[in-house]
Amino acid sequence: MTDSANPLTKSQELAKANEGCKPSLKKPGTGDGRAEPLYIDEKGLSKEHFMLPPHYVDSIDRLLVPYGFVVDRIERLAWDIKTTYGNEDLHLICVLKGSRGFFNHLLNALNRIHMYQNRHTTSLPFYEHYVRLKSYKGMQSTGELTVIAEDLSVLEGKHVLVVEDIIDTGTTLTKFAKYLEDIKPRSVGVASLTEKRTTRSSGFKGDFVGFSIPDEFVVGFGLDYNEIFRDLDHICVISKSGIEKFAKVRQGAH
């Protein structure tokens, strides 16, 4: 996952540098003051060492992040989020559909932290909102954004945290952040399970990010390819045969 001698070497180096880091939340996409995400390298892990649904085995090239590692990392992100916002009212926006798994795990972790840190408080730990942002067709980001959402005018003057599954080129979140800024919230932050290291990046960075991953097309833990693989627990790299197989499935569905 990282250096061959020690798979956590790079992340251990980052851990020390991350001590005391706290996102500034002054401008969405800058990542100013954030703790750097855990670095996952291209090598990954052999799928032979993990349980995979039989219908997906031939479509997976390798694992990048096992399920248990993902869940533990989300617990830490929840802690960082709570530390940053404290007891301020926080409005979480789940970007459907891919972020649903990450969002649910994050909510559970935030609930537990709120319950045990604030045993005598009567305030709510957070408020939930849901939106659909469409910018992908197959494996490519189209650059065009379609927003389907409830009335988000209630976010005016509020702390807003957008919850995403992946930051790829950053185009989608850049446009959505501008959409939200027109509502005039108090702040706009972004929590993303993963962030790609890609030359196609617009430079957009999340404020709370779980993993820095290589420029591969990944699936699992809510991440999909043509609406398939969302039910896969681990974060994996899809194989060429998987791409071909499920491209044909989708084409046949129309």
Which residue numbers are catalytic?
A: 168
HEC profile for the chain? CCCCCCCCHHHHHHHHHHCCCCCCCCCCECCCCCCCCEECCCCCECHHHCCCCCCCHHHEEEEEECHHHHHHHHHHHHHHHHHHHCCCCEEEEEEECCCHHHHHHHHHHHHHHHHHHCCCCCCCCCEEEEEEEEEEECCEEEEEEEEEECCHHHHCCCEEEEEEEEECCCHHHHHHHHHHHCCCCCEEEEEEEEEECCCCCCCCECCEEEEEECCCCEEECCECECCECCCCCCEEEECHHHHHHHHHHHHHHC
Amino acid symbol at 150: E
Alpha carbon distance 233, 236 (integer Å): 9
Q: Which residue has 């959402």 as its token pair? A: 149
